[in-house]
Amino acid sequence: MSLLVSKDISGLMSLQRSVSVYIAFLALFLFGASLFLISSPITSSIHEYMVGIHSPTIQDFVNSTVSKVHQDDQDHHIGNGHENISSVPSPSVSKENIDEKGQVAVAPPSKLDSRNNISGDCDLYHGRWVHDPDGPLYTNKTCPIITQMQNCQGNGRPDRDYENWRWKPDQCDLPRFDPRKFLQLMQGKTLAFIGDSVARNQMESLLCILWQVETPKNRGNRLMHRWTFPSTSTTIARIWSSWLVHHTNDPIEGAGADVDKLHLDMPDEFFMEHIPKFDVIVLSSGHWFAKKSVYLLNSTVIGGQLWNPPTSMEQSMKVNHMEAYRISVETALTAIARQPNYAGLTIVRTYSPDHYEGGEWNTGGSCTGKSKPAQRVVENGFTNGMHQRQVASFWNSMQKTGAAARFRLMDITEGFGLRHDGHPGPYRSPDPNKITKRGRGGRPPSQDCLHWCMPGPVDTWNELVLEIIRREFDHANDPIPQLQH
């Protein structure tokens, strides 16, 4: 009996020694690993993967065989020059994955330039909408330049609670727009909006806010809108560029003069000619890629939208409208970064979501009756796909050019996915006889669920712009100029 007990004790002591040795070995291993991570926190291969160094270039794209266009190239329409884009099913897109062509969906800003997170540790682009009893900084009656289609109150919209919501980032507060502070920071400078009619929507919002403290002088023309505030010589400009790339209507095989031809590897020469005059650019685009068009690279047709190519071209149709958008963004940003005479700050506003529900803009899609922000974003495959490609192209072009210090990504897409209440809906016309309610069978009236009411959520974009500019140009000791009324 005693012998058995002795053996058990001996075995137990042996097991304890083995466990002690194992624990000591594990501790040494963890200590050594921690030293390695501290001295080399991320390897070059991981870094390259995250920021997309190995993503294919445009030329790689041309030289490679591209898989058949996916579900997401279903038809979208734009009618009468007014951008009404509907939501259609497409493959779901994750913000942290790689798409089918190796593009990084979202490269963390810290990988290239931590200042793209413009509030230090505060992420301005994730948050919630909170009720603001103070209301907007202007009304449709105190701003004389609101485009009629965005003048929701002037067009008879009966509710106005959509005006009384402010964006609250999760980790900080976004300051209310201070017009005098903006004019001080932009003294002697020019800010230009470049893009489509949603860019015009944002420009008019900024002008309406600034108009409350000073009346600007109109110095523009048909090709470039320009408003100057005399007290500080601050200029707000706007250049129309639907696609950001060169386009023509010259006939080609299978496509006459009625179809726009987009040269995806050539930036829009008009805005490129003028950007050396600007100190800040707010760049945005996307919605016109749903329009009927033909896509070219190296003057060779590679795809199209709402266009039936000749049989001889069908095999070369490898690029749909989402991929065309991706290429165009990278082309434009790369060209801006490499423009030797432009050293300004470029703010890239991400894709602005629409909120057509129950159909397309011309097939019963509607945002009628939406009067408050949504509690959660209703996933929209088209919006997700466009946003993912735009963000990927932003980081790819930054990696390619090394220009991240002069570029900021203003990612509004997620937060504005909640603002289905902020569109004109059926209140896009002053016509007293317009139809604003659903008809027989519940069919909604024709409406705009893409652009934004003014005042309304769009004003938040300019609060974000001011915060970005403040961090770039703020000099606390400079006196605030006296403004002329």
How would you list the strands of the sheet with 407-410, edge to edge?
217-218, 224-229, 234-240, 190-195, 280-283, 345-349, 407-410
Per-residue 3-state assignment (H helix, E strand, C coil) for the chain: CHHHHHHHHHHHHHHHHHHHHHHHHHHHHHHHHHHHHHHCCCCHHHHHHHHCCCCCCHHHHHHCCCCCCCHHHCCCCCECCECCCCCCCCCCCCCCCECCCCCECCCCHHHCCHHHCCECCECCCCEEEEECCCCCCCCCCCCCCCCHHHCCCCCCCCCCHHHCEEEEECCCCCCCCCHHHHHHHCCCCEEEEEECHHHHHHHHHHHHHHHCCCCCEECCCCCEEEEEECCCCEEEEEEECCCCEEEECCCECCECCCCEEEEEEEECHHHHHHHHHCCEEEECCCHHHHCCEEEEECCEEEEEECCCCCHHHHHHCCECHHHHHHHHHHHHHHHHHCCCCCCCEEEEECCCCCCCECCCCCCCCECCCCCCCCCCCCCCHHHHHHHHHHHHHHHHHHHHHCCHHHEEEECCHHHHCCCCCCCCECCCCCCCCCCCCCCHHHCCCCCECCCCCCCCCCHHHHHHHHHHHHHHHCCCCCCCCCCCC
pLDDT tens for the chain, 485 residues long, are 443 434 444 444 554 555 454 555 555 544 444 443 333 333 332 222 222 223 334 334 433 323 333 333 333 333 333 333 332 222 223 333 334 333 333 343 433 333 344 445 588 999 999 999 999 999 999 999 999 999 999 999 999 999 999 999 999 999 999 999 999 999 999 999 999 999 999 999 999 999 999 999 999 998 999 999 999 999 999 999 999 999 999 999 889 999 999 999 999 999 999 999 999 999 999 999 999 999 999 999 999 999 989 988 888 899 999 999 999 999 999 999 999 999 999 999 999 999 999 887 667 789 999 999 999 988 889 999 999 999 999 999 999 999 999 999 999 999 999 999 999 999 999 999 999 988 887 788 889 999 999 999 999 999 999 999 998 888 544 444 444 44
Distance CA 148, CA 155 (A): 8
Q: Which residues have a Cβ under 8 Å from the Cβ of 302 and sit 6 or more positions away? A: 62, 264, 295, 296, 316, 317, 318, 319
Q: Which tokens in the block code for residue 265?
A: 């590897």
Predicted model pTM: 0.77
Instruction: Supply the pLDDT for residue 411.
Output: 98
Q: Could you confirm whether 279 is annotated as catalytic?
A: no
Instruction: Supply the pLDDT for residue 100.
Output: 38
Q: Could you confirm whether 448 is annotated as catalytic?
A: yes
Q: Could you confirm whether 90 is annotated as catalytic?
A: no
The active-site residue out of 86, 87, 90, 197 is 197
Which is nearest to 111 in space by CA: 413, 409, 472? 409
Q: Which tokens in the block code for residue 146?
A: 């609101």
For residues 431 and 413, the answer to whether their CB atoms sit within 8 Å is: no
Torsion of CA 69, 74, 75, 76, to 10 degrees: -110
pLDDT digits (tens, 9 = 90+) for 423-434: 999 999 999 999
Instruction: Supply the pLDDT for residue 312.
Output: 83
- What are the phi and psi torsion angles at 131 (to 5°)? -70, 140
The active-site residue out of 73, 260, 421, 448 is 448
Instruction: Supply the pLDDT for residue 382.
Output: 92
Q: How far, in whole angstroms, is CA 465 from its chain's centroid?
A: 13
Distances (CA, A) of 254 to 149, 317, 333, 474: 36, 13, 31, 54
